[in-house]
Structure 1
Amino acid sequence: MKKILFLSVLAVLVFSSCQQGPVRYTQDSPEIDIVKQLISNYNNKTFDTSMYADTSKTFYNVSENPMSASEAMDYHKQTDANYSSRSFQNENSEYEMVVTDDGETWVNCWLGWKGTLAANNKEIDIPVHLTYQFVDGKIVREYGYWDPSEVVMELQKIEMEAKKAEEEMEPME
């Protein structure tokens, strides 16, 4: 009888030690699928905010003054004027979902972005990190980090060249 009791307790201990807790890290989740759809929408210039909570906040290279989801879509539409083409590249893209110690669900992604400036056909490649916080299947926070220096410098150069050409065209007094 003692052996049966001992084996029963041992079996319970072994069984309970094999039980896994909730998934805290994965590369396959519904939230990752939502982010991949969001990236696809960006590439297709489909400016859909249905993946965002009404109160979501988006931070692109800033820590204050977030944008709403619709303001973020307007931001993309406005910057599109600078490019003849632009998209996130599929190769070498990485996605992960983590659940923090505080129970927050985040999806991180590392992507390559490529754009061609409309004014001079210069191609620019930029590594981008995006991270999204989810609550009840909706994005409540979005953070985007990239180095815009090359784009800014090229746009300034284009502007200076246009201004110089304009000044050369003005009649002499």
Structure 2
Amino acid sequence: MKKLLLPLMVLATMFACTSPEKKADAVASDDPRTGTFSSKDAKSQKVKELIEAYMKNDSSKIYEYYVDTVKIYDQMANRQENGKTIPNPGGRTGFAANERMNHDYFTNINIPTDLITTFEFKDGRVHTGLWGLWTGKGKFSNKDISCPLHLIFVWEGDKVVQEYRYFDPTALMEEVAASKTK
């Protein structure tokens, strides 16, 4: 009997290893929000280049990677209609000017670029996300500032058509106020 037990266990193990794997959640295959993600793809690299250029007060990558009519959604202006945020006006040119303006108020701007990931959804949408901590030093207040930051870049082809920016603008508003007292 002991001689039969060992071969049966080996046979059962071999059968288990050769059986096809079954998906635990068949519903996930129908979910349009599924897809793949990568941090080493071309779009993640472009976002890294955008952020590195921003830190150097260089807006050339904005003109290279954004469409003219890019829509920027953030909480900087209280721009809501019918319960939805509408984009800030100005397109790519206005956005580039806004990004350069940050350097009028802050020095030593830094955003880590190690948490950038591109999501390619099953339904064809492509978004790149960045999570980090924006840091800088106020030119007027002389305060060191840090602010959690989350950016989402929405792509069509090789161009950004929308960007969603999530951060607390309090420090920026305080620095603008400090600049007016000097």
2:78 is the counterpart of 1:64: no
Where 1:89 maps in the other structure, the secondary structure is: coil
2:5 corresponding residue in structure 1: none
What is the rounded CA distance, in whole Å, between the counterparts of 2:153 and 2:175 in structure 1?
30
What is the rounded CA distance, in whole Å, between the counterparts of 2:94 and 2:45 in structure 1?
23
* 1:30 partner letter: A
2:164 is the counterpart of 1:143: yes
Aligned 1:81-96 pairs, distance under 5 A: 81-90=104-113, 93-96=114-117
* 2:168 partner letter: D
Contact 1:85 1:117 survives alignment (8 Å):
no
Count of aligned pairs: 141
What is the rounded CA distance, in whole Å, between the counterparts of 1:159 and 1:138 in structure 2?
35
What is the rounded CA distance, in whole Å, between the counterparts of 1:56 and 1:155 in structure 2?
25
Contact 1:42 1:87 survives alignment (8 Å):
no
**Percentage of matched positions with identical amino acids:** 21
What is the rounded CA distance, in whole Å, between the counterparts of 1:159 and 1:50 in structure 2?
32
Unpaired stretches in structure 2, ≥5 consecutive residues: 1-19, 21-34, 80-84
CA RMSD across the alignment? 2.6
Which 4+ stretches in 1 moved above 3 angstroms? 153-156
Q: 1:80 aligns with which of 103, 119, 136?
A: 103
Contact 2:150 2:166 survives alignment (8 Å):
yes
Contact 2:39 2:117 survives alignment (8 Å):
yes
* 2:162 partner letter: R
What is the rounded CA distance, in whole Å, between the counterparts of 2:99 and 2:57 in structure 1?
9
Unpaired stretches in structure 1, ≥5 consecutive residues: 1-13, 15-22, 164-173
What is the rounded CA distance, in whole Å, between the counterparts of 1:109 and 1:77 in structure 2?
19
Deviation string, structure 1 residues 3-54 (Cα, Å, up to 9, x no partner)? xxxxxxxxxxx8xxxxxxxx62222210101100000110111111111123
State the Cα distance separating 1:143 from its structure 2 match. 1.1
